[in-house]
Chains A and B, each alone.
Chain A
Amino acid sequence: MMTTNNAEAPASTGEAVLAGKSLIQLEGLTKVFETEEVETHALSNIHLTIRQGEWVAIVGPSGSGKSTLLAVLGLLDTATRGAYLLDGLSVLDLSPSDRALVRNRHIGFIFQSFNLIGDLTVFENVELPLTYRGMPAAERKQRVERALEKVGMAHRARHMPGQLSGGQQQRVAVARAVAGDPLILLADEPTGNLDSKNGEAVMQLLSELHKGGATICMVTHDPAHARTATRTVSLFDGRIVQDEQRR
């Protein structure tokens, strides 16, 4: 186990123990929310490297900056200062259109509230990011079917999200995230809206994806789920206070 406090030494964590190439590199990343009266430092001077094949759990109390960090990693939000390299490409200064392109091709999202679109079928939900990629229909079909089979939801392809249980909806969301073969899966409290049984099933699914080579970065409140990951990064007041690597 390796522990680093980035308040004392900027982390270039896990470099010694992991063989995969560096996929995400954050250098001195800071995010400040400004209102008329107050300036809130959501993230302060974050140094973090995530290598290919890692499963990183980001933990911390409410307001510690976990979701903000995930939003910045997913290019849903921008940083105020610092550098962010995704697969060697600096992505902080990209235009909104290029950020959308990077999100679409390289990042897969899994949300706490599933965020399936109610008016689209399961198949169409999974297909959605591929359509934004301009992929031909035949290839899309192939990829969607493969992703749904991977999560065990192929038989529900024609169903509407409203007809599925929470666990099933999250499995569809996972299928949507992996259908485009992203570089990294970003999961924000993926079990937060599920009962324990369904939660375990989703964790099992993520575990299988990880074993299959997926790189995962997951925000969680649940210590048990955090332990499933190969590495745990703890945040407090927008800073990394602990970075724990497990074999």
Chain B
Amino acid sequence: MLSDLRMDLRYTLRTMRQTPVFTVAAVLVLSLGIGATTALFSVVDAVLLRPLPFPEPERVVVLGSERTQRAAPNYSLMTYEDLARQFTQVCSLTAFAGSRFNLTGDGDTRQLRGVTVAGDFFGAFGVKPALGRTFTPEEREASLVVLSHRQWQALGGGADVLGRTLTLGGQPYTVVGVMPPSFQVPHPTVDLWLPYDSQPGAATSEARTQRGFRSFTVVGRLAPGATLESARQELASLAPPLIQEDSSQQFGLLGYRDMLTRDVSLVLWVLLGAVALVLLLAAANVAHLQLARAASRQRELGIRVALGAGRGRLVRQLLTESLVLALLGGVGGVLLALWGTDLLLALGASALPRGGDVAVQGRVLLFALAVTLLTGVGVGLAPAVQRSQLSPGLVLGRGATEASRGRTHAALVVAEVALALVLVTGAGLMLKSFWRLQQVDPGVDPEGVFVAWLSLPQEGYREPERMAAFHRNLMARLAARPEVAAAGVGGSLPAGGSIRRSGYWVEGTADVPNRPTALVNVSTPGFLEALRVPLRAGRRLAEADRAEAPRVMVVSEHFAREVFPGQDPVGRRVTFGGDDAQGNPLWMTVVGVVGDVPYDGIEAGQEPTVYLPMDQEPAAGAQLAVRAAPGLSPLALEAVVREELRAVDSTVALAQPTTLEARLETDLGRPRFRTVLLGAFGVLALVLAAVGIYGVMSYAVAQRSHEMGVRMALGARRADVLKLVVGQALRRVGVGLGLGLTGALAAHRVMEGLLYGVGSLDVSVLSAVALLLLGTAWLASWLPARRAASVDPASVLRRG
């Protein structure tokens, strides 16, 4: 047996050396297919399959909607406290929210991304610190901080960090621990964790006093003996009173990993499915080559059978050949995957949850091996079985018919076209969707706008008046600079990642428990001008809209349309809650209507938006937008802003300086990632299908040159032969398109959640793709057909 294997291997290597073109072509095609599949699997593995780096990660659950695809909704601390008291099926319940802290006292003020936590945060995840300890639920008011591994490294990475005091938001915090690098809750760029109640004024903050202040993610660990289902049942029984308090809340429970990955899992599975189809196409092409080569070795195989080789022995030899080819392709594929994963990360995979864990190792290599072996058997089995079935007499004699081989080739072409249709349709839909996204009016003029985060330290900015004064002062200084055309500060910027929504009530209508919500963008005068948001009616926010002035608001067209259909909104009054000194609702008068801006991203689209004056609703954290004077690069404004910031208050940090154009580009990052990948797979599919059709038709023409000679002897003209060959190819392509259409429609349905502005049945994409494939098939078959038509009948017939 072993010597047989050695013999087969020796013979295989010799055969491969004798047919270098075939060998190189097959190995390259397989490398491409296996490499692309492996690279994408490495992403799927890291993001979707690899367990989270917590003990018993499947027992970590998060509060949220079980139905929607969006990220988990946030809850108020009051709701969390109510739940924590009663929830028995989930232990270590914790609530946490992202926050930005200015780190001062160590050179320039730096903004750090922190997480404020309530409850047993570290117990819920069950992760031990790499250094020191974590803080306990009992230390809720202690000024303690735990650093991320990343931030620890940034601070020097020494063990002496424990006990060190960091001034965060003007408040001293003692470092008690450092988490391991794998602990990245809730995101990889987190710098530190600290108790929520350790912050000055926490006890009287909105988060502690208002049920509508929903900023916290609620996570826990299933109690011993509890299951997700039992916890859900208990939650369902606890939810009604909470819903009475706040009817817009949804109380579902899902696995933490599911929540992390649910808005990316569809795209990743779609991409993995697409790349698997590419692999199938590559395998089909190699199977073509194998069939053609087996046919040219028909005589050799016949002799082997005549000499007593059994069917199994013959199959084994042919399979050895395809397995060796596949293994070579697998090695090439893994090398390609190593490079491919870097490419995927550069294309945007690094921005996926746990994208930093993407690597070609362990399970990914096992996957590559499994795919390689399956491919080897797949591409070799059909030719092996087919060849081993031939009787030696038939094989060695003249006149063996090749009808069954022709059918296998035809089936492969049909399959290739069907697969290509599915893939190219997917790519076409994604391209159209991306094109539609790019066509969306961002509602602003992003060119020439510098943007950055401004974060006021809590120390010194506890009073709203001081916050308002700071913004007024900075804006006045910036506006006086010749480099600045307009400047403003707002809570939200397009693709800025900070969204606040609040429930509103219109004067003269009945107040309902479940108020509709609108995006609230607290901004300074100049903000809308800096973004060039067009004014539709009334006026924009002005300097006169000070704290003591009547409360006003500017609304978006969407808000005006939805809230005041067919009416003039200017002069109408709306409240977002709160009472005035007399105990009346705090009404704000609409003074203007401006264009719509999709602040939550272009994919999410426009939503009802209101702009409130910063002086009347001061906020500590906001985003700066400065429009450069004509001819000046917006990036050049960073120095100007820093200079003025230092002049106003050097403790205020400027973070993530960039341009608005760059922000909007980033917003398209995820759709671009899937579009580029699916587009590449589509092109690859088209090329592989074309090569497959060309290969099959070339082979068929070579096999049928005698028949062509006979046909020409009987009076067939060049056009008749061209028609015959191209017609045959197009008939097969037609069958493939028919079969592929079903798959393409299914793919369309699966991808619906990833598409923007593309209908449920996009006939234009489907027909364009079908025409593209037909055109490709026509070209791929016309070249061999031309060769067939130039057959010299006399010489062909002379050869017999």
Determine the distance from Cα of A100 to Cα of B711 in the docked complex, in whole angstroms: 10
Determine the distance from Cα of A76 to Cα of B713 in the docked complex, in whole angstroms: 7
* In the complex, A143 has a CB within 8 A of chain B: no
- Are A76 and B793 in contact (CB-based, < 8 A)? yes
Chain B: CB-nearest residue to A115: B710
Q: Which of B534-583 contact A (CB under 8 A)?
A: none
Partner of A109, one of B713, B719, B800: B713
- Are A128 and B714 in contact (CB-based, < 8 A)? yes
Residues of B within 8 A of A115 (CB): 706, 710, 713, 797
* In the complex, A35 has a CB within 8 A of chain B: no
- Are A162 and B710 in contact (CB-based, < 8 A)? no
Contact flag A103-B794 (CB < 8 Å), given A113-B800, A117-B707: no
Chain B: CB-nearest residue to A103: B715
Chain B binding surface, main DSSP class: helix
Q: Which of A59-117 contact B (CB under 8 A)?
A: 67, 71, 74, 76-77, 96-97, 100-101, 103-105, 109, 111-113, 115, 117
State how many angstroms separate the Cβ of A219 from the closest Cβ of chain B.
Answer: 12
Residues of B in contact (CB 8 Å), total 22
Residues of B within 8 A of A77 (CB): 794
Determine the distance from Cα of A111 to Cα of B798 in the docked complex, in whole angstroms: 10
Partner of A132, one of B403, B406, B717, B797: B717
- Are A104 and B797 in contact (CB-based, < 8 A)? no
Q: Which of A110-138 contact B (CB under 8 A)?
A: 111-113, 115, 117-119, 128-129, 132-133
Q: Mark B706-728, 1 if CB is under 8 A from A, else 0.
A: 11001111111111100000000
Determine the distance from Cα of A96 to Cα of B715 in the docked complex, in whole angstroms: 10
Contact flag A97-B717 (CB < 8 Å), given A117-B710, A118-B403, A128-B711: yes
- Are A100 and B715 in contact (CB-based, < 8 A)? yes
Interface centre among B406, B711, B712, B717 (most CB of A within 10 A): B717
Determine the distance from Cα of A117 to Cα of B403 in the docked complex, in whole angstroms: 12
State how many angstroms separate the Cβ of A158 from the closest Cβ of chain B.
Answer: 17
Determine the distance from Cα of A163 to Cα of B793 in the docked complex, in whole angstroms: 26
State how many angstroms separate the Cβ of B699 from the closest Cβ of chain A.
Answer: 15
- Are B800 and A129 in contact (CB-based, < 8 A)? no
Partner of B717, one of A76, A101, A118: A101
Residues of A within 8 A of B717 (CB): 96-97, 100-101, 132
A contact residues, range? 20 to 34
Chain A: CB-nearest residue to B406: A119
* In the complex, A176 has a CB within 8 A of chain B: yes
Residues of A within 8 A of B713 (CB): 74, 76, 103, 109, 111, 115
- Are A104 and B794 in contact (CB-based, < 8 A)? no
Partner of B715, one of A105, A112, A119: A105
Determine the distance from Cα of A126 to Cα of B112 in the docked complex, in whole angstroms: 87
Q: Which of B690-744 contact A (CB under 8 A)?
A: 706-707, 710-720
Residues of B within 8 A of A118 (CB): 401, 403, 707
State how many angstroms separate the Cβ of A29 from the closest Cβ of chain B.
Answer: 15
Residues of B within 8 A of A109 (CB): 713-714
Residues of B within 8 A of A128 (CB): 711, 714
- Are B718 and A119 in contact (CB-based, < 8 A)? no
* In the complex, B399 has a CB within 8 A of chain A: yes
- Are A97 and B718 in contact (CB-based, < 8 A)? yes
- Are B715 and A129 in contact (CB-based, < 8 A)? yes
- Are B403 and A119 in contact (CB-based, < 8 A)? yes
Contact flag A104-B715 (CB < 8 Å), given A76-B794, A113-B800: yes
Determine the distance from Cα of A46 to Cα of B410 in the docked complex, in whole angstroms: 48
- Are A111 and B401 in contact (CB-based, < 8 A)? no
Determine the distance from Cα of A117 to Cα of B703 in the docked complex, in whole angstroms: 12
Chain B: CB-nearest residue to A96: B718
Determine the distance from Cα of A1 to Cα of B24 in the docked complex, in whole angstroms: 68
Residues of A within 8 A of B715 (CB): 100-101, 103-105, 129, 132-133
- Are B718 and A104 in contact (CB-based, < 8 A)? no
Interface centre among B706, B718, B793 (most CB of A within 10 A): B793
Partner of B716, one of A67, A100, A113: A100
State how many angstroms separate the Cβ of B775 from the closest Cβ of chain A.
Answer: 26
- Are A67 and B401 in contact (CB-based, < 8 A)? no
Residues of A within 8 A of B716 (CB): 100, 104, 132
Determine the distance from Cα of A97 to Cα of B712 in the docked complex, in whole angstroms: 10
Determine the distance from Cα of A132 to Cα of B403 in the docked complex, in whole angstroms: 24
- Are B399 and A162 in contact (CB-based, < 8 A)? yes
Chain A: CB-nearest residue to B795: A77
State how many angstroms separate the Cβ of A55 from the closest Cβ of chain B.
Answer: 21
- Are A111 and B797 in contact (CB-based, < 8 A)? yes
Chain A: CB-nearest residue to B717: A100
Other A-B contacts than A100-B720, A109-B713, 20 sampled, CB-CB below 8 A, are A71-B794, A76-B712, A76-B793, A76-B797, A100-B718, A101-B717, A103-B712, A103-B713, A104-B715, A104-B716, A111-B713, A111-B797, A112-B800, A117-B707, A118-B401, A118-B403, A118-B707, A128-B711, A128-B714, A129-B714
16 contacts between A and B (CB under 8 A): A76-B713, A77-B794, A97-B719, A100-B720, A101-B717, A103-B712, A104-B715, A105-B715, A111-B710, A112-B800, A115-B706, A115-B710, A118-B401, A118-B403, A119-B403, A132-B716
Shortest Cβ-Cβ A-B pairs, 6 listed: A104-B715, A77-B794, A76-B794, A100-B717, A129-B714, A115-B710
